[in-house]
Amino acid sequence: MAFEWPIRVYVEDTDAGGIVYYANYLRYLERARSEWLRHLGFEQQSLMENGVRFVVRDVSIQYRKPAVLDDEVIATVDLIDATKAGLTLNQTVIKRSDSQKDKQEILVDAQIRIACINNEGRPTAIPADVATLMTKS
């Protein structure tokens, strides 16, 4: 089951027409990944202090339908594959129907590849405890 993080669309997220600016979806996906790590028990600051940083290596994103001002959307994180020093995640931004909570629309669908690097920017193995919890979620 994918991790979910709710997000409200604010004026600052939109263009002059009240539609979410396309680059802000990347921010939503980043927030969801950060909260996913926190949910697993790992603060990014602590990981960085221990020489572990997760960086985006590659993004493939499809914009299907816009979110607009005041929408409540949900950014998801679903681990697809894990290697020694990387992750492949499927992430979406969805909007649930107000009248039918089990019905949802995919607004954005993305595949994100993440690399684990050390403080010098070199690839490093994902710590075993982090990798174990990621693959169990």
pLDDT mean over 95-121: 88
25 is in which domain, residue-wise? 3-136
Q: What is the set of active-site residues?
A: 15
At residue 137, does pLDDT exceed 90? no
For 98, residues 6+ apart whose C-beta sits below 8 A from its C-beta are: none
The total number of structural domains that make up the chain = 1
Q: Is the pLDDT of residue 108 over 80?
A: yes
130 or 102, higher pLDDT: 130
Look over the chain and give the mean of its residue pLDDT values, rounded to a whole number: 94
Over residues 14-69, the pLDDT tens digits come to 999 999 999 999 999 999 999 999 999 999 999 999 999 999 999 999 999 999 99
Which whole number is the average pLDDT over 79-95? Answer: 97
Please report, rounded to a whole number, the percentage of residues in the chain having pLDDT higher than 70: 96
Whether the pLDDT of residue 136 is over 90: the answer is: no
Identify the pLDDT of residue 100.
Answer: 62
Secondary structure of the chain in HEC code, one letter for each residue: CCEEEEEECCHHHECCCCEECCCHHHHHHHHHHHHHHHHCCCCHHHHHHCCCEEEEEEEEEEECCCCECCCEEEEEEEEEEEECCEEEEEEEEEEECCCCCCCEEEEEEEEEEEEEECCCCCECCCCHHHHHHHHHC
In CATH, what number is assigned to the domain containing residue 118? 3.10.129.10
